[in-house]
Amino acid sequence: MDIYFQPEYGKLYETIEQGKSEVYEYKGPLGAIQHMYIRREIPIQIDHKTYYDLITPYGYGGPLIVSCEDGSRDQLVQSFQKEFQSYCLDHNIVSEFIRFHPIVKNADDFQNCYEIQTIRKTVGTNLVDYDDPVQAEFSKSCRKNIRRAVEEGVTYRITENPSHAGDFTKIYYATMDRNDANSFYFFDDEYFTQCINLFPDHVILVEAIYQGKTVAMSFCFIYGKWIHIHLSGALTEYLHLSPSYILKYAVTMWGKEKGYELIHYGGGRTNSPEDNLYLFKKKFGRNTEFTFCTGKRIWNTEVYQRLCTAAGVTQTNDFFPVYRI
């Protein structure tokens, strides 16, 4: 099970998502399913009653089969759906939006439970199937940039089990400003402190260093055999040195040495195959891609319709849940 399915991970996003992290556990004769989500209060009341909707914490997640009798996955999911439907009705839960895990591929098991949509590709570096993943997965231009950066004197450092985020927040905020990022992505100092406190053995900090100064950093999660490049940043005045390439190179070398099997970078900012961020990440994973899917479900149709009416919106809008536009 990956870090995104851990209850502590959900707690990281309670303040950001303005909700409560919860884990619903279904256990039956055919197996068990765990489902972690953020339960958010809907800011519209119906008949003076408060309702809620569910969302996956930032990143990936969704319901996950944790045990199952052979050949019974479909029946297990049907049983889960029936029980969870009742749970949602009993607890005034109206709708749910899921970002399924592209590596675990748990969307495959819930095709008949949620309206599932393929969104985009995500990228990784395969560490386990190549003796030299840099040669196998990195593009030719990428390797050239790394050689040039090393010749210019850029080095790297990896800190395991860090006690604090160091210079990361300063570098990260500068990067978000440069990219005109949505305010949602400006995670505060408390967020990074919580990451380290909740997952003391599952965080590494990666630094690209030039003339004694940290010029780029990545904040990464490690769990099981996977490394997730969670957040990264680089100082504008040092971009000509390609420090972001050194960060990827550093994690690849470290991960291979430590016996990890995969580095996951995520996808682009948009769903376009020409998205610049996706194409940048693809330079480090020529052969390794995953499919990212979302899932939608209206658990209480009558109340959903009334919420849309109260919000003055139509259900034909692509945004979901549409009453939150």
Buried b (16+ CB within 10 A) or exposed e, 36-50: bbbbbebeeebeeee
**Is the pLDDT score of 134 beyond 90?**
yes
Report strand pairing: 93-99 vs 115-126. Answer: unpaired
Reduced to 3 states (helix: H, G, I; strand: E, B; else coil), residue 131 is coil
> For residue 314, what pLDDT is reported?
87
> For residue 121, what pLDDT is reported?
98
Reduced to 3 states (helix: H, G, I; strand: E, B; else coil), residue 31 is strand
| Residue whose C-alpha is closest to residue 291's, from 62, 102, 59, 117 | 102
> For residue 114, what pLDDT is reported?
98
Half-sphere exposure of 225 (CA within 13 A, CB side): 9
Question: pLDDT, tens digit, for every residue of 272-320?
Answer: 999 999 999 999 999 999 999 999 999 999 999 999 999 999 887 789 9
Q: Residue type at 117? A: Q
d(CA 49, CA 28): 32
Average pLDDT rounded to a whole number, residues 68-72: 96
**Is the pLDDT score of 184 beyond 90?**
no
Average pLDDT rounded to a whole number, residues 160-164: 95
Half-sphere exposure of 204 (CA within 13 A, CB side): 21
Q: What backbone torsions phi and psi does residue 29 show, to the nearest 5 degrees?
A: -65, -20
Check: CB of residue 230 under 8 Å from CB of residue 8: no
**If you average pLDDT over every residue of the chain, what do you get?**
97
Check: CB of residue 37 under 8 Å from CB of residue 219: no
> For residue 80, what pLDDT is reported?
99
Domains and CATH numbers, the chain: 3-121+292-324 (3.40.630), 128-260 (3.40.630.30)
Q: Report the length, in residues, of the chain.
A: 325
Q: What's this model's pTM, rounded to 2 decimal places?
A: 0.95
Q: How confident is the model at residue 182 (pLDDT cuts 50, 70, 90)?
A: confident
d(CA 11, CA 2): 15
Reduced to 3 states (helix: H, G, I; strand: E, B; else coil), residue 154 is coil
Average pLDDT rounded to a whole number, residues 71-88: 98
Question: pLDDT, tens digit, for every residue of 218-233?
Answer: 999 999 999 999 999 9
Check: CB of residue 290 under 8 Å from CB of residue 102: yes
Q: Report the share of the chain in percent with pLDDT over 90.
A: 94
Average pLDDT rounded to a whole number, residues 266-277: 94
Choose the weakest-confidence range: 15-24, 99-108, 207-216, 316-325. Answer: 316-325
